[in-house]
Chains A and B, each alone.
Chain A
Amino acid sequence: MVAQNIFFGILSAIVVISAVRMVTTRNIVHAALYLVAVLAGLGALYVLLTAEFVATTQVLVYIGAVMVLFLFGIMLTKAPLGNVMEMTGKQWPIAAVVAVLMGGVTIYSLLNHFGSERLVTDGPIYRTADVSDEVFSTYIVPFEAISVLLLAALIGAIVLARKD
């Protein structure tokens, strides 16, 4: 349990520092790379929670696909080397207030709901097969709803991209 706590501390520090650097850095590609560090740190936290499948999906989807597309898009359009001063917009105080409010609401609701509960350290380890069993039985309706949503998004993208 001690080892888990130590690694949780290290990973959380990495995630928090990268997240702060992501919004304060003056270079857009650096910001994207800090976001990669945040997502990788979250993936490592999933491993600490014995959620191996979720952690692997985090790496495949967010780092391997979403962030690569982000960087691809940034570099295809405009990605100057060095610092750019206009990176920070005029509305940043408002954005900071909104971010603090959002964080506060999330922390409050989590503490309110799970405040006194403790994680079971020697509980069952959920295998990939258990995850798929849950997805295709208990959560079948949300799963199918998401599939339809993704299909709609896919068709929408094709309609937007078509020239004729």
Chain B
Amino acid sequence: MTTLLALPYWQETGIKLGLALAIIPTTSLILVYLFLFKMMAFMQSRLGPNDTGPYGTLQLIAEAIKFLQKEDIHPAQADRRVFRMAPVVVLASTFLLYVVLPAGPDAVVQNLDTGVFYAMAVSSISVLGILMAGWSSANKYALLGGLRAAGQLIAYELPLILAVMGVVIQAETLNLQGIVEAQATGEIFGFGGIGNPFILTQFLAFLIFMIAAQAELTQTPFDMPVAETELVGGFHIEYTGFRFLLFFMAEFGTAFAFAALASVMFLGGWWIPGFDVDDNILNVLGPGVMLGKILLIAFFIFWVRFTYPRLREDQLQKFAWKVLIPLALVNIVLTGIFKVVF
């Protein structure tokens, strides 16, 4: 691979970290504006978000000003240190996810060898922050929300990881760049024009991954941890102003990261048909292609969110343990058999 400029390690890392820090809040803004404000407003006839400024673009600024001027309240009984740390832990988990997400042959913060495994590991840290928030708020609704979140995230982490296993077996690597390369150089019955996006061969894994991701992101129909009609907001009930904004940013930043993971693993990532996998131009075009695919997947996530009612807690657990996990195991066995036979 040819590199355009060679910088010392620390300068390169500094530039990449700066870019990532700028990109992560932007990603949640894009999702909030496009889907939470515009799409939900059209789907559910909520008129407000469409009327602030041209195309409702000023709504974001109005929301930001609203959050920043709110008072920072701690409940009297709360455990202050843990209460303050909790949103930071949740957001840190989101930031760590972006380390491995690739947008081009070189456009990645760090091309880790364990790629997708690392992403699964750091995404599980957010549960810790949610439990900390639920406990330290000194509020029984918050504690119930935290416990529900923990039970749900543990249950859905298993099908998530097991669904990824199918992709890993087929690509023969954990590395996300390797997975993109395996799809770019793959062939569909001898035809290599568009590579072999794993959504074709791993459709079952894709479905399981998307359902489990919906639950990991606590989006409706899996939003029991924050169910406002039962728990009046769940684990972030006592958070106001900027601390609530941190939770909010983490929610949408993680949604963007999971959509990126899905598009890398199932839709071919940043590769464009007709280019070499290590073509330098893909560092420029790749991020655009990735953004398109991410928005497509995010559209499905939020479409489901705004369409379906909430599941019951026992239905949620049953669905994970009795349907998703056995299906994911079947998918792994089938993929293994096909890998050995062909």
Residues in chain A within 8 A of chain B (CB atoms): 27, 29-30, 33, 36, 52-53, 56-57, 59-60, 63-65, 67-69, 71-72, 75-76, 79, 81-82, 127-128
Contact of B151 among A33, A65, A67, A72 (CB under 8 A): A72
- B88 at the A interface (CB under 8 A): no
- B265 at the A interface (CB under 8 A): no
B124 touches A33 (CB 8 A): no
Contact of B131 among A52, A56, A75, A82 (CB under 8 A): A75
B82 touches A53 (CB 8 A): no
A52 touches B146 (CB 8 A): no
Q: A33-B82, A68-B150, A79-B135 are in contact. Are A60 and B124 (CB under 8 A)?
A: yes
Greatest chain A CB density within 10 A among B138, B150, B151 is at B150
- B306 at the A interface (CB under 8 A): no
| CB 8 Å contact bits of B146-175 with A (1 = contact, 0 = none) | 110011011001000000000000000010
Q: Contact residue range for chain B?
A: 20 to 34
B125 touches A127 (CB 8 A): no
- 10 A-B residue contacts at CB 8 Å? A33-B132, A36-B128, A52-B113, A53-B113, A53-B114, A56-B117, A63-B125, A69-B154, A71-B128, A71-B150
Greatest chain B CB density within 10 A among A30, A36, A64, A67 is at A64
Residues in chain B within 8 A of chain A (CB atoms): 77-79, 82, 112-114, 117-118, 120-122, 124-125, 127-128, 131-132, 134-136, 138, 143, 146-147, 150-151, 153-154, 157, 174
B154 touches A81 (CB 8 A): no
Shortest 7 CB-CB contacts between residues of A and residues of B: A64-B124, A60-B121, A59-B121, A72-B150, A71-B131, A56-B114, A56-B121
- Residues of A with C-beta under 8 A to B136: 81
- Not counting A56-B118, A81-B77, a sample of 14 additional A-B residue pairs whose C-beta atoms are within 8 angstroms of each other reads A52-B114, A56-B121, A59-B125, A60-B124, A64-B124, A64-B127, A65-B157, A68-B128, A69-B154, A71-B131, A72-B150, A75-B131, A81-B136, A81-B138
